[in-house]
Amino acid sequence: MKKLSVFLAVMLAMALLSSACLAEAADPLGKYDEMITVHFVRDTDDTLDANYFSQHPDKTMTDNLWCDLYRDVLNINVEYDWIVKSGDEYDQKLNTAIAVGDIPEFVNVSTLQLKQLVEADAIMPLEEIYEKYASPFAKEIMESTGPSPFNAATIDGHLYGLPNVDSPLMIADLLWVRTDWLEKLGLPIPTTMDEVLATAEAFANADFDGNGVKDTLGIAIAKDLWGQLFSLRGFFNAFDAYPGIWVEDENGNLVYGSTLPGAKDALRTLNEMYKKGLIDPEFGVKDGGKVAEATTAGKCGLFYGAQWNSIYPLQSCVNLDKDAQWRAVSIVSATDKPLKAQTNVGTLSWTVVRKDVAHPEAVMKMFNLFIEKNWGPDNENGIYYAPLDSESIWKLSPVVPTNPHKNDGAFLDLEQYRKDGDESKVQGEALSILKKLQAFESGSEDGFALWGWERIYGAEGAYGVLIDYDAKGMTQDNLFVGAPTETMTSKMSTLTDLQDEVFTKIILGEEDVDAFDKFVSDFNTLGGADITREVNEWYATVK
C-alpha cells in the first residue's frame, strides 16, 4: 500500500511537472517525449496519383516524406480513419459522419460543416492554442490576408477552426486558349466577348486533326460549373454576375451574386452557344477529370479555369501533341461595365479538433512545421513543396496552410530576374521554380514535363494575368466573410443545388431562359430571403 502511494505521488509530481513545462515553454515546434498518434480523414485526387504515386509506387498516404517529417521532428504519427477519392465523396462521407456523431479527431471542414459541428457542441475552441503555440512566422503567414479567414471560423467570439490559408487571388478565373489553333485559323487572342464566342465557334467548326469530322468542342464545361477547372465563373463575371459570392448592390446591401440580372444574360448566351453545338450535350454528367479527356485528346481548345490548369490537365495534352500550345489570358467583359474577376476568401478548409482530443496543440505544431519547411528561412521548399520529380508532394500533409503571397511573390521575383538576370536574388520557392523553368528551356525530355510550370511562371505566364487583375483593381471579393448564418447552415446547399440544376437545364435548353426568374423567386422563398437578411445584419456590424 505504501509502495502504491509513493508511486502515485511520483506520478502526480511528474504529471504536474510536465504540464508546468507545457504551460511555460509552449514550444511551437516542440517534440513530444512519447510518440502521439493523431487521426485525420482525407480525400485524394488525380493530381496526386498522376504526379506522385505513379512515380513512387512504394509510398502510401501514411508512409511518405511528410508523415516521416511529422514523426521525426514532432514525434507525431499521422493516421487516417478513412481516405476517399474525391472532394464530393469527402463531403458526403463527412456529412454522414457528422450526422451519426462519428467525428474524426482532427478534420478539415468547410465553414458550413464547422457551424454544424459547433451547434453539435462537438469541437473545441482553438484561440488559446493558436495564441500559445503558433510560431511568429506561422502567425505572420496566416494573418497576411487580413482577419477574414479567422472571422469565417469564429462563432460567439471563439475561433473553432485553424484556417488552411491560401491566396484569394489564386482562384480567379482565367481564359485558357490553344494558341496554336488561333494561329492556324489566323485569329487574335480574344479580348471581347464577341471574340470569345467567335473563337469558340471557329474551334468547333475546324477540323484540326483532319479526320473529316467536326468533333471539337467550342468551350468545355464540367458538371460542377463553378470549380477551378472548366468553370463558368469567368463567363458569368463577364456579364457582371458573381455566382456563389455576396456582392453589394447599388444601395450598398449585399446580394447573392448568382441572382443578379447579368446571370440571365450569361445563361442566354450559353444556351445560344449550346444550340450552335459549341457545348458538349453530355457536360451535365461529366466531372472535371472526364472533361479533361477532351482537352488531352485535342478535342477542345478553350475554357475558363484557374492558373494551375496547365500542370493538370493540360500537361497531358502537350505530352501527346508536342505542337500544342496553351496560354492563359485575361477574362473579357460582355458589358460596358468594368470587368471584375471574382475571388473569395482564399481559405477553402479549416482544421477543427474534436472536444475530447488529448493533444489539440499537435495540429498547431503541424501548421507551424508545414509553414516553416515550405516558406521558412531554410529554403527547403524545393524538397517539401513541389520537387522536380514529385509534383504535388505538399498535398501529402493533412494540413496545408499556404503562404497566400507565395505565388505572386515568386512570379514577381522571376520577373525581376528576367529583367536583370541576377540569380542570386532569387530564393526559396522562386528558386525552385526557376530551376524548373530552366529545365524546360533546356529542351530536354525531362524538362518538357515542366511545360505546365512555364505556362504559369514564364514571361507570358498565368500569374502575370492574375497580378494584373490585382494591380488594376479588377477583382470582386466575396463581401460576406463571416461564419455561416443560421439559415445558411441548413438551407444554402439545397439552394446551390437548385441553382446548378436550373442553370444546367437552361444551358441545355431543357428550360426556357425565363426559368431564371422563377429560380430567383424560388431562391427567396426557400430561405434565400432569410439568408440575405442575416448576411446584411452581419454586414452592418463590420461596415
Partner 1 sequence: MHNTAKAPSLSRNGRLKRELPFHLMLLPGVIVVFIYMYIPLSGLIIAFQKFIPAKGLFGNQKWIGWDNFIYLYQLPGAISALRNTVIIAFFKMILHLIIPITVSILLNEIRSSAFRRTAQTLIYLPHFLSWIILGGILIDILSPNGGFVNRILGLFGVQPIFFLGSNDYFRFTLIATDVWKEFGFNTIVYLAAITNIDPNQYEAATIDGANRFQKMIYITLPNMRMIIVLMMVLSLGNVLNAGFDQVFNLYSKQVYSTGDILDTFIYRIGLIDAQFGVATAMGMFKSVISTLFISVSYYCAYRFADYRIF
Residue 184 or 355 with smaller CB distance to partner 1: 355
Residue 321 or 501 with smaller CB distance to partner 1: 501
Residue 467 or 498 with smaller CB distance to partner 1: 498
Residue 525 or 541 with smaller CB distance to partner 1: 525
Residue 284 or 382 with smaller CB distance to partner 1: 284
What does the H/E/C string look like for 242-290?
A: CCCCEEECCCCCEEEHHHCHHHHHHHHHHHHHHHCCCCCCCHHHCCHHH
Burial environment of residue 525 by CB neighbours within 10 A (0 to 12, 13 to 18, 19 or more):
exposed
Phi/psi of residue 130, each to 5°? -60, -45
Nearest approach, Cβ of residue 494 and partner 1 (Å): 5
Residue 340 contacts by C-beta under 8 Å, 6 or more apart in sequence?
Answer: 237, 240, 242, 474, 475, 476
All cell numbers assigned to 381:
521548399
Contact by Cβ (8 Å): 126, 350: no
Residue 323 contacts by C-beta under 8 Å, 6 or more apart in sequence?
Answer: 180
Say which DSSP state 542 is in: H
Nearest approach, Cβ of residue 493 and partner 1 (Å): 4
All cell numbers assigned to 485:
448564418
The β-bridge relationship of strands 475-476 and 174-178 is unpaired
Nearest approach, Cβ of residue 217 and partner 1 (Å): 11
Dihedral sign (CA 516, 521, 527, 529):
positive
Residue 105 contacts by C-beta under 8 Å, 6 or more apart in sequence?
Answer: 38, 39, 40, 353, 354, 357
Residue 261 or 281 with smaller CB distance to partner 1: 281
Residue 18 or 494 with smaller CB distance to partner 1: 494
Nearest approach, Cβ of residue 281 and partner 1 (Å): 6
- Count Cβ atoms below 10 Å from residue 145 Cβ, excluding itself: 19
Nearest approach, Cβ of residue 511 and partner 1 (Å): 8
Nearest approach, Cβ of residue 287 and partner 1 (Å): 11
How far is the C-alpha of 27 from the C-alpha of 406, rounded, in Å? Answer: 26
In one-letter notation, the amino acid at residue 185 is L
Nearest approach, Cβ of residue 222 and partner 1 (Å): 12
- Count Cβ atoms below 10 Å from residue 295 Cβ, excluding itself: 26
In one-letter notation, the amino acid at residue 233 is R
Nearest approach, Cβ of residue 102 and partner 1 (Å): 10
Place of cell 500537361: 315
Burial environment of residue 397 by CB neighbours within 10 A (0 to 12, 13 to 18, 19 or more):
buried
- DSSP lists the bridge partners of residue 246 as 256
Nearest approach, Cβ of residue 41 and partner 1 (Å): 17
Residue 56 or 491 with smaller CB distance to partner 1: 491
Nearest approach, Cβ of residue 283 and partner 1 (Å): 9
Nearest approach, Cβ of residue 96 and partner 1 (Å): 6
Nearest approach, Cβ of residue 291 and partner 1 (Å): 13
Residue 412 or 492 with smaller CB distance to partner 1: 492
- DSSP lists the bridge partners of residue 123 as 354
Contact by Cβ (8 Å): 375, 428: yes
Dihedral sign (CA 167, 172, 178, 179):
negative
Nearest approach, Cβ of residue 118 and partner 1 (Å): 10
Nearest approach, Cβ of residue 151 and partner 1 (Å): 23
Contact by Cβ (8 Å): 489, 436: no
Residue 431 or 520 with smaller CB distance to partner 1: 520
Residue 158 or 223 with smaller CB distance to partner 1: 223
Binding-site ranges for partner 1 (CB under 8 A): 91-92, 95-96, 98-101, 116-117, 119-122, 223, 281-282, 284-285, 490-491, 493-494, 497-498, 500-501, 504-505, 508, 510, 518, 522, 525-527
All cell numbers assigned to 275:
444550340
Cα-atom radius of gyration of the chain, to the nearest Å?
A: 25
Residue 100 or 358 with smaller CB distance to partner 1: 100
Residue 222 or 334 with smaller CB distance to partner 1: 222
Contact by Cβ (8 Å): 283, 221: yes
296-310 burial code (b ≥16 CB/10 A, e <16) = bebbbbbbbbbbbbb
Residue 292 or 334 with smaller CB distance to partner 1: 292
Instruction: Identify the CA nearest to 234 among candidates 74, 469, 59, 432.
Output: 469
